[in-house]
Structure formats: structure tokens, C-alpha cells
């Protein structure tokens, strides 16, 4: 059906008609050509009648006929080259047939050989493979899809895109490092000592400078990529451990239960210690205990990603924010245009408010679809990202970051602040500046709460007098 829908859309573009996929069901190539021209001819007849009623109406004075507009329509619509005087010399009863003659001549010249590709049994799969290669860089062959149903094809594509994303996760830190330690102003020369020092910490590997000292840039890239792929495998081991831990903790409990209710303090302490030793992630035992299943899963997976893919996650967040920001501005502009024009729906006996809401929701759905398309396009083409943007996602492996204060820490700090303020022995007196004369409408410096002109201003004037 996809092939027939594509065929119908192509024919509508070529002929300017309104064909549907069912019009060509069961037809071969010759039948498609005949049916397409038949549908186009019906549409053209209607267009000619409408244009003649507009330019040369029978109930109008012949002196008011607009031959120039009619001639322009014929020349533009049917790629003819006639002058306005030629139509004027034709009898009114024969005018329609004469214009249809130009239309038939144009229809016979249209080449419909391109429609054969839509009728091929493999057209749907060919289009899918071309889209996969264009969007994700995944190269599949038709033979890879032979004998598969739609569900199996969908599963195959999901697996291949996951593999490609796995590869991109390994490539991105190497790309960022080469930008960071490569000098564009020095002919692309690489600071190999700094690069190796970073790689040893980042990928937890032992590297000798002599291993890469005489390598070309591509060789160095491949060397680091192998280290990154090995780090990917450790990431997968850590993620598997997290999944098994979550499953064991909540095997007999509801996912809404807090961790403190499903694990004892010793288990929580072991979990916090594992996070610290394997992922360099510090978290308080009390904070772990306050999480439910979903929150714990997010926290543990985020810790794994922050350990093994800090650059990639920072890039994804920055990319998503930029795309959402640009798309939201465009959406607001489109909503402004819609708001200014929706009042015209009243002429069609439609409620403008209802139409505004309906069209607005349609635009909103398209907004999120476009965001997803744009983000995935850029993620799988990270080599084309701006070098400055890639550099902004750089994470120094040796840098240490203070962990964000937990809710319990914040509450404790607030209580300490309240207690310290209560120990002051009474309310704090406001600081008043007495050596400056306030303005007429400013509060009086005596603290009465009145305006200066209503309070001490008169006394000051008397003292001056």
C-alpha cells in the first residue's frame, strides 16, 4: 500500500490532480498511465470551466473578456506558447475544445516511466533502506530483509540503531579529545602527552607514550577508539550489575516502596560503597533510602553514564536544549500567525476558538516530532557538529566536582540558620543612615513609618530657620 500511496502523491504533483491510492490498486504500468491521465483530464476539465467562467463569462459583454488572463493560464498550466489574439479569434462554442486540445497535447508529453519504481514489490523496502542509510548511516541490503515480516524488520532496525549508537558513544569522547588536544593553528598537531595522560585516566588504561608517538592522526584515533570500546564493555558490566541489583531488591516488593523499606542499612551501605569505588559517585545512605524503585533506577543509571559517558551526555543535553529552544520559538511564531488568521474560519461557519485549539494542538504535536527528528539527525552525524560546541562538552578526567546538596542537607542547613538567628537575642534592628537628608516622599529616618514631608521635614526647616 505504501507504494501506491507514493505513486498517488507523485501523480498528484505531476498533474495537479487529486488521485488516491485505491485508484491504482490492481493496475500494471500501462493501466496506471491510463488511469492517471484519465483522473488528470477530469481535473483539467473542471479547471478550464472555472477559468472560462472567470475570464470569458457568457453573460458578460465580449468587450470585457479578459483574454490575457485566459491565455496566461493556458500557457502556464499546459506549457503552451500561444498569444492572446489566437484565442480571441476562436468561436466561443469551440473555445473549450481548443483549450482541451492543448491540455491533451501536454498530457501525452508527460513521461510516466518513473512510476514503474512505485509498482515494484521491493519499493517499500528500498525506501526504508535508503532512509536508514541517510538518517543513521546504517547500510543494509534487500537480502537482509528477505522473508521477514514487519515486526521482525522493526526489531532488526532497532538492534542495528542500538549498535550504531553504541559505536557513537565510543567515538564521541575520542572526537572531543582530538579537538581538545589538537591545534588547528599548528597544522593539526596533537599534544600527545596531554592526550595520553587524559586517556589513561578516562579509559582506566595503561598507555606508553611510545605507543602513539609516531602515529598519524587517524592511527591515534583508532588506537583511542579501541580503548573507548573496551570502556564501553565495562559500562555494560556496570549496567548489568545495576539491573540485577534492582531486580534483587524489589523481587518481593512493590516498585513504590522506598529503598529503606526493602533493604537493611548494611545493604544500603554496600550499595553506596560500590557506587563510590566503581563509579566515583558519592551519595549518602539516607538519600539512597529515600528513593523508590524508579528514582533509584534513574540515579544508578545516571551514575553509570556520568562515569563512562560524561562528554556524550553533556553533548546530548546541550543539543536538546538548543533544538528545543529554536523549535519553540518557531512554534510561538506559527501560533501568532494562526491567531491572526483564525478569525477567517467564521466565514466557513466554524467556531474560531475551536479551530484555534484544534490547529494549535496539531502544531504542538508536529513540534515534538520535529524535535525528535532533528536531535536524532545530529546525534548520528556528530562529526558535522561545530568544533566549538564539541569543545564545550569536554570533561577533564582529573577534575573533581562537588556533589549537589541533597534535600536532607538543605533542610539541615535551613534549621541551623533558623536556630542561629534565634540565638541573637531578639530581632535585628534595621540599619539606618542618619547623615543623609531623605527625599520628600521617602520614609522618615526616625522610623515612624511616615513620609519625610509628613514627619520630620517641618522640624528640620524650623531648626534651619
Each residue's pLDDT, cut to its tens digit, for the chain (465 residues) gives: 788 888 888 888 878 888 888 887 888 888 888 888 888 888 888 988 888 888 888 888 878 888 888 888 888 888 888 887 788 777 778 888 888 888 888 888 888 888 888 888 888 888 889 999 888 888 888 888 888 888 999 999 999 999 999 989 888 888 888 888 876 555 567 888 888 888 888 888 888 877 777 788 888 888 889 989 988 888 889 999 999 988 888 888 888 888 888 888 888 899 999 999 988 888 888 888 888 889 999 999 999 988 888 888 888 888 899 999 999 999 999 999 999 988 888 888 888 899 999 999 999 999 999 999 999 988 888 877 777 777 777 766 544 444 444 444 545 555 565 555 455 454 555 445 445 677 777 888 776 777 777 787 776 555 544
Same domain, residue pair 302 and 317: no
Q: Are residues 105 and 37 in the same domain?
A: yes
For residues 335 and 444, state if they share a domain. Answer: no
User: Minimal CA–CA distance to 164: which of 382, 360, 5, 346?
Assistant: 382
Residues 361 and 381 in one domain: yes
Residue 208: inside a domain: yes
Inside any domain, residue 430: no
Domain count, the chain: 5
406 in a structural domain = no
Together in a domain, 193 and 205: yes
Mark whether 95 and 174 lie in a shared domain: no
Residue 29 lies in a domain: yes
> Quick check: is 237 in a domain?
no
Taking the CA atoms of 166, 169, 172 and 174 in sequence, report the sign of the dihedral they define.
negative
Instruction: Examine the fold and report which residue of 270, 286, 308 is the final residue of a domain before the chain moves on.
Output: 308
pTM above 0.75, yes or no: no
Is 81 contained in some domain? yes
Claim to verify: residue 185 and residue 220 sit in the same structural domain:
yes
Same-domain pairing of 104 and 11 = yes
Amino acid at each position: 500500500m505504501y507504494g501506491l500511496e507514493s505513486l498517488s502523491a507523485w501523480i498528484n504533483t505531476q498533474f495537479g490532480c487529486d488521485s488516491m491510492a485505491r485508484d491504482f490498486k490492481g493496475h500494471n504500468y500501462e493501466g496506471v498511465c491510463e488511469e492517471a491521465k484519465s483522473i488528470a483530464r477530469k481535473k483539467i476539465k473542471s479547471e478550464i470551466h472555472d477559468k472560462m467562467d472567470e475570464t470569458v463569462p457568457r453573460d458578460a459583454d465580449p468587450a470585457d473578456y479578459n483574454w490575457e488572463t485566459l491565455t496566461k493560464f493556458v500557457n502556464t498550466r499546459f506549457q503552451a506558447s500561444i498569444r492572446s489574439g489566437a484565442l480571441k479569434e476562436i468561436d466561443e462554442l469551440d473555445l473549450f475544445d481548443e483549450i482541451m486540445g492543448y491540455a491533451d497535447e501536454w498530457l501525452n508529453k508527460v513521461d510516466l516511466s518513473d512510476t514503474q519504481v512505485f509498482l515494484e514489490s521491493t519499493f517499500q523496502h528500498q525506501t526504508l533502506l535508503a532512509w536508514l542509510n541517510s538518517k543513521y548511516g546504517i547500510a543494509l541490503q534487500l537480502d537482509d530483509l528477505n522473508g521477514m515480516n514487519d515486526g521482525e524488520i522493526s526489531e532488526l532496525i532497532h538492534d542495528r540503531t542500538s549498535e550504531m549508537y553504541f559505536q557513537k558513544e565510543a567515538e564521541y569522547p575520542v572526537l572531543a579529545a582530538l579537538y581538545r588536544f589538537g591545534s588547528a593553528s599548528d597544522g593539526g598537531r596533537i599534544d600527545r602527552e596531554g592526550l595520553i595522560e587524559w586517556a589513561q585516566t578516562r579509559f582506566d588504561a595503561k598507555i606508553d607514550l611510545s605507543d602513539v608517538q609516531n602515529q598519524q592522526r587517524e592511527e591515534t584515533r583508532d588506537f583511542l577508539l579501541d580503548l573507548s570500546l573496551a570502556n564501553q564493555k565495562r559500562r555494560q558490566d556496570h549496567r548489568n550489575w545495576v539491573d540485577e541489583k534492582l531486580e534483587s531488591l524489589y523481587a518481593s516488593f512493590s516498585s513504590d516502596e522506598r529503598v529503606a523499606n526493602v533493604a537493611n542499612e548494611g545493604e544500603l551501605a554496600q550499595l553506596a560503597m560500590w557506587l563510590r569505588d566503581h563509579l566515583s559517585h558519592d551519595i549518602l545512605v539516607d538519600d539512597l533510602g529515600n528513593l523508590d524503585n524508579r528514582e533509584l533506577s534513574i540515579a544508578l543509571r545516571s551514575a553509570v553514564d556520568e562515569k563512562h559517558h560524561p562528554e556524550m551526555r553533556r553533548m546530548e543535553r546541550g543539543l536538546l536544549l538548543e533544538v528545543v529552544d529554536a523549535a519553540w520559538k518557531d512554534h510561538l511564531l506559527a501560533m501568532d500567525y494562526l491567531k491572526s488568521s483564525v478569525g477567517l474560519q467564521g466565514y466557513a461557519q466554524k467556531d474560531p476558538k475551536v479551530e484555534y485549539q484544534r490547529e494549535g494542538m496539531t502544531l504542538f504535536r508536529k513540534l515534538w516530532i520535529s524535535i525528535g527528528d532533528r536531535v536524532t539527525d545530529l546525534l548520528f552525524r556528530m562529526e558535522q557538529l561545530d568544533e566549538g560546541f564539541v569543545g564545550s562538552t569536554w570533561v577533564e578526567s582529573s577534575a573533581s566536582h562537588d556533589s549537589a546538596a541533597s534535600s536532607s542537607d538543605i533542610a539541615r542547613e535551613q534549621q541551623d540558620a533558623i536556630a542561629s538567628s534565634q540565638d541573637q537575642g531578639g530581632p535585628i534592628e534595621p540599619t539606618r543612615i542618619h547623615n543623609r537628608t531623605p527625599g520628600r516622599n521617602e520614609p522618615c529616618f526616625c522610623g515612624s513609618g511616615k513620609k519625610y514631608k509628613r514627619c520630620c521635614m517641618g522640624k528640620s526647616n524650623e531648626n534651619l530657620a
